[in-house]
């Protein structure tokens, strides 16, 4: 039996075992397999492991998407987690490209995937408060939001959770260095049933220019002298 003789349900099941590139390559072989590739039921879950993957045409965004994960840890991408004022011109140009890629992709997700249940974002320094705000507004069924080492996330995201995260049951903001303890306490106060985790976030040193840090250090030195 040739693979194209299988019914639609069997083909969808077979495609579900393939990664995105393999699905795309198989879809190029004939029109019937291309139709299976384009079936929204095949794309309820998406995982990405590098910024480059977000720009490929080997996946489909649509209302069937329920689970989204964007996680990367490569050495090159660590440049994105450096504080902006410390970056040289080459690093800034590199990061601007990543920022546009991530923000454009998440905007597409907001517009085309209203039934999301779970989002995990880890290791990308270009996920902003505005991106999360739009995600919460456009995906009212979101139950799990996990952010790890997203350095541009601040208390604005926590405030957005209290305003638009009515369906959220789990919130992780681990290693997000610009999250404050005051912001976390507000979430706990306004959303007592939310499972909130913030490993190291409120204990890390927030982004600030050297001048600001010196102002904070001077009073502490005077106290020591007294």
Query: Tokens 């705000």 sit at which residue?
Result: 133
The whole-number pLDDT of residue 217 equals 41
Please determine, for residue 213, whether its predicted confidence score (pLDDT) is greater than 50.
no
Global pTM value: 0.80
Which of 56-60, 156-160, 222-226 bottoms out in mean pLDDT, i.e. has the lowest? 222-226
Question: pLDDT tens for residues 131-170?
Answer: 999 999 999 999 999 999 888 899 999 999 999 999 999 9
pLDDT at res. 124: 76
In the predicted structure, residue 80 carries a pLDDT above the cut 70: no
Higher confidence at residue 226 or residue 170? 170
pLDDT in tens, 101-113: 888 999 999 999 9
Alpha helices (H) along the chain = 8-15, 20-27, 31-37, 89-112, 129-138, 155-164, 181-190, 210-225
- In this structure, of 26-30, 34-38, 44-48, 52-56, the range with the lowest mean pLDDT score is 52-56
Q: Quick one: CA dihedral 158, 162, 167, 168, positive or negative?
A: positive
Question: What domains, with CATH codes, occur in the chain?
Answer: 1-42 (1.20.1280), 43-197 (3.80.10.10)
| pLDDT value, residue 214 | 40
Sequence-ordered list of residues with C-beta below 8 angstroms from that of 180, at least 6 positions apart, any chain: 155, 202, 206
């Amino acid at each position: 039996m040739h693979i194209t003789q299988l019914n639609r349900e069997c083909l969808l099941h077979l495609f579900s075992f393939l990664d995105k590139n393999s699905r795309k390559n198989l879809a190029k072989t004939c029109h019937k397999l291309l139709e299976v590739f384009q079936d929204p039921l095949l794309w309820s879950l998406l995982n990405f492991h590098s910024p480059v993957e977000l720009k490929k045409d080997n996946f489909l965004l649509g209302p069937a998407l329920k689970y989204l994960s964007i996680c990367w840890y490569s050495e090159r991408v660590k440049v994105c987690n450096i504080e902006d004022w410390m970056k040289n011109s080459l690093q800034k140009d590199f990061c601007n490209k990543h920022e546009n890629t991530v923000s454009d992709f998440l905007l597409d997700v907001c517009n085309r995937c209203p039934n999301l249940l779970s989002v995990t974002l880890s290791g990308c320094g270009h996920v902003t408060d505005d991106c999360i705000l739009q995600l919460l507004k456009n995906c009212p069924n979101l139950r799990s939001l996990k952010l790890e080492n997203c350095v541009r996330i601040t208390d604005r995201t926590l405030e957005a959770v209290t305003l638009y995260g009515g369906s959220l049951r789990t919130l992780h903001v681990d290693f997000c260095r610009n999250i404050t303890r005051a912001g976390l306490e507000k979430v706990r106060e306004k959303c007592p049933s939310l499972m909130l985790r913030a490993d190291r976030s409120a204990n890390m040193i927030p982004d600030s220019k050297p001048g600001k840090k010196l102002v904070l250090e001077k009073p502490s030195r005077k106290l020591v002298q007294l």
